[in-house]
Amino acid sequence: MHVHGPRGGPCGDRTPRGGGPGRGRPHPHPLLRGRGPGHHRRGGGRVRPGSPEGGDGHDPGGHHRGRRRRRPHRPPVGGHERGDGPLGLRERRVPLPHPGRGAEEAGRPQAPGCPHPPHPGDHGPGAGLPPALLRRAVHRLVLVGGGHAHLAVLASLVESPRPPGEVVLVSEDRHHWYSGRVPAHLRGELEPRELQFDLAALARAAGVEFVEARAAAICRAPGSGYLVHLEGEPDDPLRAAALSLDVGSVPRGARLPGVAEHALAVRPMARARELRERLDTVTRDRPRDTEVPAVVVGGGAAGVEVALALHARITELGRSPAVRILEAGPHILPGWRPKARRRAMDILRRRGVEVETGIRVVEVEPHAVVVERDVGGLQSAPRAGPVREPGLLAVWLTGAAPPPLLAASELPLDDDGYLEVDTTLRATDGAPVWGGGDCISVAGHPPLPKAGVQPVRQGPVLAANLRAHLEGAGDADDGSGKAGEAGGAESDGASAGKAGSRGAPPRHFEPDPTFLALLDTSDGRALLRWRGLCLHTRWARWLKDRIDGRFVERYRSLES
Ligand SMILES: Cc1cc2nc3c(=O)[nH]c(=O)nc-3n(C[C@H](O)[C@H](O)[C@H](O)COP(=O)(O)OP(=O)(O)OC[C@H]3O[C@@H](n4cnc5c(N)ncnc54)[C@H](O)[C@@H]3O)c2cc1C
C-alpha cells in the first residue's frame, strides 16, 4: 500500500498566504539572500562546536571499492567557485532549537509542513528567479541527510566529471558520524573528530551547496518539484526539482515518558559525544567502592556493543560497573542464528553484563527506569509491573523506526512508514525522488536489516542513477528553464532514462539481507558473524579495524 502525506496534514494546506517566495514579491528570492562564505545564518544562531576537519567512517561489509584517485574540483554548471554561491546557499546554517536531538525525540510538536505555500502564480522550482538562475533551479537536486549512501554520491561528484544541474546537501549536522567507531569513542580511545566526516568540506570538494539544517517536511510544489521545509524556517522552503533522502532512522519508543528528557542515545550518532561525557561525569562522581548502575534498553547489535563499551569504560575509570541489557523480545540479537546468539550471551555473562529479556521499559526517570515484565514468557498484555529499577544512566538503543520527516511529507511510504523505492532506489510512484539507507524499503523485497552496510552497497547505485537523472535533465533543457515545468513532478525526472538522452539506463540494487557482522566486544577482540560462521578473536577485531580504516581513509581523502 502506498501512503502519501495526508492531504489535510502537514502538506495538505494549500491555502495561499502572504510571505511566501513568489513572483513580484517585494523582497529578493530567499535563495538569493544571505550570501557569503562559511555557514549561512538566516536568523542568527551559533555554529556548534566541532572539529574543523572531519573524521571517520566505516564499510561494515567491505563493499566500498571505489577509486581512490582524486580529480580536480570542477565547479558546478553556472561556474561559481567555492565560498560564495550565486544562490547564496553554500554552507548555509539554520540553527536547530535543540542541537543534536530531533524535535520528535524531544517530544515537541512536529514542524508544520507546508504552512506557507508559494504564491499562486509561482510555478515550479525555479519560479521567480532570473532566467540564468532559473535554469539551475529547475534542475536542482536536493540531497536530504548526510548518510552513508549520500557519502558515495558526493564521492562520485568529486571523482567523476560533474553532471549539469545544481546539487544541494541538507544535513542537520555538519558531520557524518561513523557508528562503527562509537564503542571505541565510549571507551575513551577515540575523540569525536575521529568519528566524523566533515560533510561541508566533502560537499565543497564535490561542488555541492551545503545547508546545515533539519528538513521538517517535504511537500510537492505547485506545477512540479518539491519544497523542502527547514526546521525553524517555515516561510523559506528550499526548492527542488529532484530529491534524494538518506536520513537514517530513529529509535523506537522515543516518545515514551521521560525518554527524551532522561535517556541517552546514539541516534543521531552525534549524541554519542553526549553519552560519553555523561558516562564519564557520572562515573567519576561515584565513590570508588560503589557500583555504577547503567541500563541499556535494547539488545540488538548496537545494544550489545554499547553495553560492553560502558562496562569497559567504567572499569577503566576505576569504578565497579553494573551494566544491564533490558530486551523486550524473547532473546537478544534478533535475526542472528542461535549459535551466534549463544556466543554473544557467553561473552556478556563472562564480562558481568546482565541480560534480561521479556522486559519493557515504559518510562525513564532521572536515575531509574520503570519496567513491565512479560508474564510466563508471553509477549502480550497483561504484563507484571510497573516496577522502578535503578539506572544512573539509561541508554536508549531500541530498534529502528522511520524518521518523522517521512510521515510529515508528501512521499510514497510503505506500511511501516519508510520511503518505498524500487530497485533503482527511486520512489515507487515514479516521482523524481530517490533514497538510500535505513529510511527506505525496497518494494517487493523483505525489509533489509538496518545496518550501515546497506547504504554502503546502495551508494554506487544511487550515485549512478542520480547522475543519470541530472544528465538526462540537462539534455531535456532547451535553455528556457522550462524543463522542470513540463509535466509535473512525475514526468520531471523521467528524462533520465529516455532514449536519446545522455543519461544512462538506471542501475539496479540487489537487496541482500546477508552481511558480515563485526561486533566490537571492547576486549581487543570482535565477534564475527558470517552466515553460519561465528568467531570471537583478535583477528576479527583486526579485520574490523582494517575495514573501518579503509572507509575512513577513502572519505577523508576527498574532503577539501
Ligand atoms: C552504536 C551503533 C553501532 C553500529 N555499528 C554498526 C556497524 O558496525 N555496522 C553496520 O553495518 N551498522 C552499524 N550500525 C547501524 C548503522 O549505524 C545504521 O544502520 C546506519 O548508520 C544507517 O545509515 P544511513 O545512511 O541510513 O543513515 P545515517 O548514517 O544514520 O545518516 C543519516 C544522516 O541524516 C541526518 N538527518 C536525519 N534526519 C535529518 C533531517 N530531517 N534533515 C537533515 N538531516 C537529517 C542525520 O543527522 C545523519 O547524519 C550501528 C548503529 C549503532 C547505533
The pLDDT value recorded for residue 380 is 60
Cα 402 to middle of ligand 1, angstroms: 12
User: In CATH, what class is 89-96+124-249+402-477+491-515?
Assistant: alpha beta
Reported confidence tier of residue 523, pLDDT bands at 50, 70, 90:
very high
The pLDDT value recorded for residue 553 is 86
State if residue 105 touches ligand 1 by the CB under 6 angstroms criterion: no
Residue 328: which H helix or E strand, with range? none
| Residue 267 alpha carbon, nearest atom of ligand 1 | 53
- Return d(Cα 152, Cα 35) in angstroms, integer: 28
Higher pLDDT, 298 or 16: 298
pLDDT digits (tens, 9 = 90+) for 255-275: 999 999 999 998 877 789 999
A 10 A CB-CB count for 502 gives 14
Nearest to 555 by CA among 294, 184, 288, 177: 177
Per-residue b or e along 262-281, where b marks 16 or more CB atoms closer than 10 Å to that residue's CB = bbbbbbbbbbbbebbeebbe
A 10 A CB-CB count for 246 gives 31
Domain ranges for the chain, please list them. Answer: 89-96+124-249+402-477+491-515, 259-400, 516-560
Cα 329 to middle of ligand 1, angstroms: 23
The pLDDT value recorded for residue 385 is 67
* CA nearest ligand 1 atom 14, residue: 451
Higher pLDDT, 61 or 169: 169
The pLDDT value recorded for residue 93 is 61
State if residue 223 touches ligand 1 by the CB under 6 angstroms criterion: no
The pLDDT value recorded for residue 503 is 58
- Alpha carbon of 114 to those of 226, 239, 248, 404: distances in Å? 11, 12, 22, 15
The C-alpha cell of 159 is what?
571523482
Residue 65 clears pLDDT 60, i.e. is over it: no
pLDDT digits (tens, 9 = 90+) for 527-543: 999 999 999 999 999 99
As a whole number, the mean pLDDT across the chain is 76
Q: What is the mean pLDDT of residues 224-234?
A: 92
- Domain 89-96+124-249+402-477+491-515 identical in fold to domain 259-400: yes
Architecture of domain 259-400 in CATH? Answer: 3-Layer(bba) Sandwich (3.50)
Cα 247 to middle of ligand 1, angstroms: 8
State if residue 353 touches ligand 1 by the CB under 6 angstroms criterion: no
Phi, psi of 318 (to 5 degrees): 80, 20
* Residue 31: strand, helix, or coil: helix
Of the ranges 47-51, 219-223, 417-421, which one carries the lowest mean pLDDT score? 47-51
Cα 324 to middle of ligand 1, angstroms: 24
Of the ranges 109-113, 213-217, 233-237, which one carries the lowest mean pLDDT score? 109-113
- Return d(Cα 175, Cα 192) in angstroms, integer: 10
* CA nearest ligand 1 atom 9, residue: 60
Cα 147 to middle of ligand 1, angstroms: 6
Q: What is the mean pLDDT of residues 422-434?
A: 97
- Which residue out of 142, 190, 247 has the highest number of ligand 1 atoms within 8 Å of its CB and is therefore the one to mutate? 247
Cα 109 to middle of ligand 1, angstroms: 23
pLDDT digits (tens, 9 = 90+) for 448-480: 999 999 999 999 999 999 999 999 875 544 333
Cα 95 to middle of ligand 1, angstroms: 21
